[in-house]
Amino acid sequence: MVRIIDICSGKGGVGKTTVAANLGVALQGFGRKIAVIDCNLTTAHLGLYLGIYSFPATLNSFLRNESKLEDAVYTHPSGLSIVPASLQLKDLVNVDITSMKKTLKHVFYDYDMVLLDSAPGFGREAMLPLRISDEVIFVANPSIPSVVDIAKYSQLPESPEAIGIILNRTKGKKYELTAEEITQFTEMPVIGIIPEDENVLKSSNSRELAITVKQNSKASRAFFEVAATLSGVEYKVTIMDRLAGFFSRKKDYNRLTPSK
């Protein structure tokens, strides 16, 4: 059965969309079928991150009963399924995702995981994806402002199971919080550490995914490690030889196509 996992954060600006997209592709490298849905409706960035700015159908049009959810599913050249949100503020009217879980389970019944790229914090918009998720992964930077709100998660009623925290953009500096300190503070395990990597910045500015163009970079290897953990397989450096074949063909990574 498909797992619906909310990728969220205690605050904005931690690289949540970057993690959701690259992690999705990394999971595919282990044979998993993955979809990423942009549930950050007020500041939708998933489409922007992939270099796409206009879609015939979006998550918003589905929520407004103007299209089927299947019509808003697009395939990235990496094979990743994407459901973008609209960039138009007017499309926020009459949208509510609280009843979407049953539809997600139906449309993505043959997928392994659906990752929800949600709004930061615990406001109304961020709470809605939590309510339709089976599990949650937090993305944080190794700083107190980034993790302090995550500690409040245990106080939320009927919240989905927390898998853990992915630390993003770590620099290995002494002033950074350690994984052990963050676990002690939040009572959640750190399941992955993504180092600061120029390749991620370069790829995002060129509207590409770092993991598809620099598979051997520090950040890409870290994404594969997290993907292996979520997939329940042992990660070995030698697996990069096998994964390299997954990305061996040259593709136009700036183009999405409607899923059939």
Distance CA 147, CA 152 (A): 10
CB of 117 closer than 8 Å to CB of 17? yes
Is the confidence at residue 185, as pLDDT, over 50? yes
Taking the complete model, does pTM exceed 0.75, yes or no? yes
CATH number at residue 228: 3.40.50.300
| 12 contacts: CB under 8 Å, gap ≥ 6 | 120, 121
Residue 196 resides in a domain: yes
Residue 252 resides in a domain: no
Mean pLDDT estimate for the chain: 87
Residue 116 resides in a domain: yes
Mean pLDDT of 200-214: 85
Domain span holding position 38: 3-241
Number of H helices, E strands in the chain: 11, 9
Is the confidence at residue 89, as pLDDT, over 70? no
Residue 248 resides in a domain: no
Q: Which of the four pLDDT bands, split at 50, 70 and 90, describes residue 90?
A: low
Q: Which of the four pLDDT bands, split at 50, 70 and 90, describes residue 253?
A: very low
| pLDDT tens-place string over residues 17-61 | 999 999 999 999 999 999 999 998 888 889 888 877 778 899 988
Give the Cα-Cα-Cα angle 28, 30, 36 (nearest 5 degrees). 25
Is the confidence at residue 198, as pLDDT, over 80? yes
List the one residue out of 43, 36, 243, 31 whose CA is nearest residue 126. Answer: 43
Q: What is the pLDDT of residue 171?
A: 96
How many domains does one find in the chain? 1
Q: What is the pLDDT of residue 255?
A: 56
Residue 194 resides in a domain: yes
Residue 256 resides in a domain: no
Residue 247 resides in a domain: no
Residue 250 resides in a domain: no
Q: Which of the four pLDDT bands, split at 50, 70 and 90, describes residue 250?
A: very low
Sign of CA dihedral 249, 202, 83, 87: negative
